[in-house]
Amino acid sequence: MIKTDVVVIGAGAVGCAVARELSKYEIDVIVVEKSADVGGDASKSNSAIIHTGYDAAPGTLESRLVVAANPMYDQLAEELDVPFKRIGAILPAMTQEQFDKLPAIKEKAFMNHVYDVEYMSGAQMLEMEPNLNPECKGGLYIPRESIIDPFILVQAYAENAHANGVSFMLNTKVTGIAAENGQITGVQTTGGDIQASWVINCAGLYCDEIAQMVGKAEYEVVARKGQFFILDKNTSCQVEHIVLPIPTKITKGKLMCPTIHGNMLVGPTAEDQPSKTDKSTTAEGLASITKDVMNLIPKVNVRDTITQYSGLRPNRVPEGLHVDVWDDLKGYVNLSGVRSTGLTLSAAMGKYVAQQLLEHGAKMVLKDNFISRRKGIVKFSELTVEQQDVLVKENPLYGNIICRCETITEAEILAAIHRPLGAKNMDAVKRRVRAGMGRCQGGFCGPKVLEILARELGCRPEDIDKNNAGSYMVTGATR
């Protein structure tokens, strides 16, 4: 039987951040993930904003963790080589009713200890964002709202945790949790039993099902879908900040912002649904985004869409972010309600969970050889011509452009495949180096990436999946 000290269930932003934090200590940690890759579920289909917490419910755990996490990202992104920009958000008011709500929003920001929120006049807002609706009567500027590459963030947490000794069991589902005399003893998985004295439930949408395994399901999770458009990098109407609507009682509303790679992101919707797997986009959902965002940015051109996607927020019923531990079940930590700010708060959640373990008796001694830095894959397209020339001379595979839209070379794809926790399927390559993320969405590079993956993994193209097991790309030769 496999033995460890801690099992973390789920390799999303939160599970990987927890694993990275625990890898600072002399303990054995295994992350068990049912999918074929690290990256999570909600963690790879969100707005990719690192929030300040200005609008969180004051006094809640969520407010504390988001507000604490935001300032961590300057150092974290630098140490882990994660694309991150502090572009700031604006909250423009288009009607008198919206304008009248601004003082309350600023007051709430103060209650959350977010003091750097500023009033702006309509003219100032239009100067910051010339494509804004000229009706703008004024608004708020929140300078530390930021954007990040969500895929790289999670990979970076995972790779760095791995470099510090954490094991990852992918394609492995937790099916049961064992306890004796009120103490966790391990987990059952599709890959065999694991003996452990701590289990940390970071299973996002499925955290209620994990909690049921130990009789601690005091809530359920209802998926809240958010649909988005991604617009082409050269769409005619762009913004430089995160442009947010004034929230209503029901929803935070739909925004427009640049992604870290220069596309425009427009959305999301907020639709509760019974299914935890239905990630379809719908004509009605997308139409509602266009209608609402046009109030803010009238010339937004959704005809420049290169793709649409949706993500499912793990919405806890009853609501609220919880980190629960119980006296009658020692060794079990249950996270729930990591709904709309989990990408941001992951950085603080890692530390919070480690502290919970320390406070509840885990014997954890800090390592003196923790590796804090992680180096990402070289981005050929971001280098100067001179730097590119040097690389091509060193390794001619940098001279073979596979993805024309994003200028991704064969050498980068090989790096994605062969690094620790490397890519084993098409989406895993895409999320590491962006091959297939551009205007043609893999139309040109897809077959080449498939061939490279098969060649490097020593299998047939028919054996390569799009993402999870069985989602193969091709079924055989046609001629």
Among 44, 32, 9, 12, residue whose Cα is nearest residue 279: 44
Whichever of 47 and 160 has its CB closer to ligand FAD, that residue is 47
Shortest distance in whole angstroms from residue 398 CB to ligand FAD: 32
- In degrees rounded to 5, what are phi and psi of residue 457? -95, 0
**Should residue 242 be labelled a site residue for ligand FAD when binding is judged by CB under 6 A?**
no
Q: How open is the CA angle 7-11-14, to the nearest 5 degrees? A: 90
Q: Distance between CA atoms of 123 and 353, rounded to whole angstroms?
A: 45
Which of 4, 23, 43, 308 is the binder for ligand FAD (CB under 6 A)? 43
Residue 46 touches ligand FAD, criterion: CB under 6 A: yes
- Taking the least distance from each CB to ligand FAD, the nearer of 158 and 414 is 158
Find the part of the chain contacting ligand FAD (CB under 6 A) among 125-133, 308-316, 410-418, 461-469. 308-316
Instruction: Tell the residue number behind the tokens 């980068």, with chain if given.
Output: 412
Distance (Å, whole) CA 155 – CA 146: 19
Two tokens, residue 384: 């100067």
Cβ atoms of 89 and 241 closer than 8 Å: yes
Interface residue with ligand FAD, options 4, 281, 341, 467 (CB under 6 A): 341
DSSP-derived 3-state class of residue 327 = coil
Q: Which stretch binds ligand FAD (CB under 6 A): 76-84, 92-100, 203-211, 436-444?
A: 203-211
Task: Tell which one of 311, 331, 350, 422 touches ligand FAD (CB under 6 A).
Answer: 311
Burial profile 161-189: b = 16 or more Cβ within 10 angstroms, e = fewer: bbbbbbebbbebbbeebbbeeeebbbbeb
8 Å CB contact between 13 and 347: no
User: Which segment (6-14, 136-144, 244-252, 460-468) binds ligand FAD by CB under 6 A?
Assistant: 6-14
In 209-351 the beta strands, taken as DSSP E runs, fall at 220-231, 242-243, 255-258, 264-267, 271-273, 305-317, 322-326, 329-336
Q: Report if residue 279 touches ligand FAD, rule: CB under 6 A.
A: no
Name the segment binding ligand FAD (CB under 6 A); options: 205-213, 231-239, 390-398, 413-421. 205-213
**Minimum CB separation from ligand FAD for residue 214, in Å?**
13
Residue 123, both tokens: 């003219």
51 is catalytic: yes
Q: 13 or 102, CB closer to ligand FAD?
A: 13
181: its two tokens: 């005399």
Spatial contact of 34 and 46, defined as CB atoms under 8 Å apart: no
Q: Which residues contact 149 (CB under 8 A, 6 or more apart)?
A: 48, 82, 83, 84, 260, 261
> Reduced to 3 states, what is the DSSP secondary structure of residue 423?
coil
Per CB under 6 A, the segment of 114-122, 287-295, 306-314, 441-449 that binds ligand FAD is 306-314
Nearer to ligand FAD, 10 or 186 (CB): 10
For the chain, the 3-state helix, strand and coil shares in percent, each to the nearest 5, are 35, 25, 40
Give the count of residues interacting with ligand FAD (CB under 6 A): 41
Read off the tokens for 18: 């927890």
Q: Applying CB under 6 A, which of residues 186, 204, 258, 438 lies at the interface with ligand FAD?
A: 204
- Site for ligand FAD (CB under 6 A): which residue of 202, 449, 452, 473? 202
- Out of 205, 300, 354, 416, name the contact with ligand FAD by CB under 6 A: 205
Q: CB of 49: closest distance to ligand FAD in angstroms?
A: 3
Minimum CB distance to ligand FAD, residue 209 (Å): 7
> Three-state SS for 419?
coil
Answer yes or no whether residue 316 interacts with ligand FAD by CB under 6 A: no
The reply to whether 9 sits near ligand FAD by the rule CB under 6 A is yes
Q: Can you read off the two tokens belonging to residue 382?
A: 């971001």
Query: What amino acid positions are annotated as catalytic residues?
Result: 51
For ligand FAD, the binding residues (CB under 6 A) are 9-15, 32-35, 40-43, 45-49, 51, 173-174, 202-206, 210, 226, 268, 311-313, 338-344
